[in-house]
Amino acid sequence: MVNWNKTLVLGHRGYSAKYPENTLLAFRKAIEAGADGVELDVWLTKDGEVVVIHDDSVDRVSSGTGKVKEMTLEELKSLDFGNGEKILTLEEVFKALPDAIINVELKDIDAVKKTAELIKANNPERILVSSFNIDALREYRKYDAETKLGILIEKEETLAQLPQLIAELKPWSLNPPIDAMAILGVEKTVGALQMAKGAGLRIVLWPLNEELYYANDNLVRLGGLFDVLIVNDVERMISYLRGLGLK
C-alpha cells in the first residue's frame, strides 16, 4: 500500500541524471537509489500502443528518426534508446514496478483512452496522472473519475483558472516548476502554493533547472509547502532531504 502522506521523491523519467531517460534501466535505478517511484511520459503508436517517451519523435533519445505516432511498436522496439535499452510500453512499466508510485504524464491526447484502461487494470491507487494539456485531463476524467490527477503548470495564467479547474477536474495536486521561485519570486510562489494547499491540493514540484531545488535554500524557504519532488538526480535529493529531516 502506497503512503501518499510523506515527502515523496520520484525519478524524473527515471534516474535520468545517470541513465537513459524513460528506460527500464533508469526506472529500476531510481527505485534502487531510494525513490518512491518514477515520473514518465506517454504517447500512442501508429498501431495503438501506449509507449513511454517524452518527445513526439525518437530523434533525440534513440538510434533512429521519426515521429512516434507514425511508427508501430515493432518499429520502435527495433531502436536503441541508450545502453541497449528498448522503448517500453506503459503496461511493461506497470508490470516491472508493481509497488512503485508512477506519475504518468499525458503528452498525447490520443493516448488518453488506452492509458485510462491500462491504469484501471494496474493498481490505480499508486498512480498520478498529470498533463499540461487541460483538454487531455478533461478527456481522462471521462474514462476514470477516481485516479489522482495533477495539473501541470508552465504559465502563470493557468493559476487564474484554478478555481474552475478544481471544481471541474477534482485534481489531487498542483504541479508547478521549482523554477517559479526564480521567475515569480519567493513571496508570489509561496502565496500561490498556500492558495492551492488551502483548496485541498497537494503540491508536486518538478524542475526545468534542477539546481534551483538547492539554490538559496529554496525548499527550506517554501516552508514545507510541497508533497512530491520530481528529480533527475535521485541520490542527491534523498541525501538533501535527510539533511533537512524530511526523509
Catalytic residue list: 12, 54
**Residue of 68, 4, 84, 73 lying closest to 37 (CA atoms):** 4
Helix, strand, coil share of the chain (percent; to 5):
40, 20, 40
Residue matched to cell numbers 531545488: 213
Radius of gyration of the chain (CA): 17
Buried b (16+ CB within 10 A) or exposed e, 148-178: bbbbbbeeeebbeebeebbeebebbbbbbbb
- Between CA 213 and CA 196 the distance in angstroms is 20
Residue position matching grid coordinates 491526447: 109
Helix 162-169 crosses helix 134-143 at what angle (to 10 degrees)?
A: 20
CB atoms within 10 A of CB 206: 25
